[in-house]
Amino acid sequence: MGGVPVILPMFVPASSEVSVAHLPSLVPQPLPSRAYAQALSLLAILLQEDRSQLITFKNNGGVQLLAILLRRCPPSHLSVELVTVIQQIVEALKVDSELYVAGMRYLLFDFSVWGSAPWSTHVIVLRMLGDIVVRDPGFVKSHVGIRPLLQALVKIYYSEPSPYSCKRDSSFTEDGVLELQQSISEMLQTLLESDSTMYRVDISYLLSVLYMVDDGDLLLPILNILYHFLTQRMDIRTLSFLAAIKPNFLQSLCLCKAYTVFFKCMCHELEEVRVQAIRCLHCFWIASSPAAKLACGINEFKNNECSGIADYLNDNPVTTSIYQSLMDFALGIKVRMISLLHL
C-alpha cells in the first residue's frame, strides 16, 4: 500500500509536501492523541519488518521529519504510550548505525521534543534514557554527550525560573522536579565515569551551568559531581592521592578557570552550595600541580589571596559548616606549602 510514504503524510495537512526541504513549514495535522501513537506504531512495525522501508525512511529524512512533527504537536499528545512507540522506532533503526545515532540524538535525547509533555511522560522518558545510559554509557557519551542532559536541567527541570527556562506543563510539582533532577544527575555521573578520560568540553559544559544559573537545586548536584571526581582517588585524611585522577580532568579545570566559578558559587545564598564550592576549590588547589596553576595564571596561595576568598563569603552568615570548610581549606593549604618547602 505504499509503506512509509503513506504513513508520514498522515501527520500533516494534505496540502503540505513531506520532505526534508519542507521541514520548516510543516504543521502537524490535528489528529486525536491516540491516533498519533497508533500511526507511529504502524511505522515502527514497517521499519522492523521491511529493510526497504528503512531505506525509504532514511532517504526522506524520516528521523528529522519525525522530530520536528513531535516538537510541534500538542503537549497532550506527548503521552506515555507515544514514548514507548518512539523507543520502538529507534530500536528498529539499529540495523543502520547512522540512523540509530540520529534517532538517539533527535528523538530520545532531544528534550525539545518532550519539553512540553506532562510530568508523568517525563518520568517515563528519563527512566528509559537511564536504562540506555546504564546499558551502554560509552555509546551515549560518544554520540550524544552530556550537553542535552545539562540543557534539560536548565531549561525544563529547574526549581527557580531563569532567562534560559522554558514553559512546562502545569502537572510539575516541587517534589516531582526534584525527582527528575536526581535522575539527570545520576545519568551525568554514569556518563562521566564511563571511560578513563574526562574531556575538556564536558568540563566546560558543567562549569557553564554553574556560571549561568543561580538555582541552588541545579548548582548543588553539579558541584557534587565535580567534588566526587576531585576526591574519588584522594585520601582526605592525608590529602594525598591514592592513584592518578582521570587524565585531562585537572588540566581542563585549570584551562576553564574553574576557580572563578567556584568563587561565584561561594556567594550563593544557599549554605549547601557555598560549602560544596569551598570544598571543590579546596580539593582543586590540593590536586593541581604548581605548573598547571601557572599555566592558567594561578600562583600558590599568598596572604592577600586568602583574604580575597574570605571576601566572597561576606554577604552571607558564616555558619558552623562554612567555618569548618574554611578551616579544612586553610589546613590543606598549610600542608601543601610545607610539603613544597621540604622539596
AA letter at 85: V
Helix axes 320-342, 271-287, angle to 10 degrees: 10
Residues with Cβ within 8 Å of 304's Cβ and at least 6 positions away in sequence, in order, are none
Per-residue model confidence (pLDDT) at position 200: 79
Spatial distance between the Cα atoms of 339 and 286, rounded to a whole number of angstroms = 11
The upper half-sphere exposure of residue 218, i.e. CA atoms within 13 Å in the direction of its Cβ, equals 27
Spatial distance between the Cα atoms of 258 and 252, rounded to a whole number of angstroms = 8
Instruction: Give the strand pairing for 240-241 and 234-235.
Output: antiparallel
Spatial distance between the Cα atoms of 90 and 94, rounded to a whole number of angstroms = 7
Q: Which residue has the cell 576568598?
A: 309
Spatial distance between the Cα atoms of 2 and 43, rounded to a whole number of angstroms = 12
- pLDDT tens-digit readout, 53-77: 888 888 888 898 888 888 878 888 8
> For the chain, which ranges sit under pLDDT 70?
1-31, 196-198, 232-248, 287-308, 332-343
Spatial distance between the Cα atoms of 90 and 340, rounded to a whole number of angstroms = 56
Secondary structure class of 235 (helix, strand, coil): strand
Per-residue model confidence (pLDDT) at position 295: 52
Residue 332 · residue 284 · CB < 8 Å: no
pTM, 2 dp: 0.81
DSSP state of 21: G
Third-level CATH fold of 197-343 = Leucine-rich Repeat Variant (1.25.10)
Per-residue model confidence (pLDDT) at position 24: 46
